[in-house]
Amino acid sequence: MVYLMIEPQQAEAFQKRMNEQGWSLFFQDGGQSQFIGWAYMMKWEKTLEDERRAEVTLHYSDNHGELEAYLEMNPPAKPLMDALVAEL
């Protein structure tokens, strides 16, 4: 897997862009984390032109005001996510 940190403030715009670019959301979950915060994760997938499947997971957490967001993806998704994040 490949990881890419994003600014927590970009998480909402990222979700919107994924929808606009035709990614399929197939899993999401969230809830309390570490007794003092909350977190969620969302997973998307997309079949690329060369028939490879790209997968991306957005991880977001707010632990007592300390925000963190990052993307976890397979290698085929990396160039697409680099371009998408650069547009945010």
Does CATH place domain 2-87 in 3.30.160?
yes
pLDDT at 51: 94
Q: Residue 66's pLDDT band (boundaries 50, 70, 90)?
A: very high
Segment 10-17 long-range contacts (CB within 8 Å, at least 24 positions apart): 10/69, 10/85, 10/88, 11/58, 11/60, 11/69, 13/88, 14/58, 14/71, 14/84, 14/85, 14/88, 15/42, 15/58, 17/84, 17/87, 17/88
Q: Does 34 have pLDDT greater than 70? A: no
* Token digits of residue 82: 């680099």
pLDDT at 61: 94
pTM of the model: 0.90
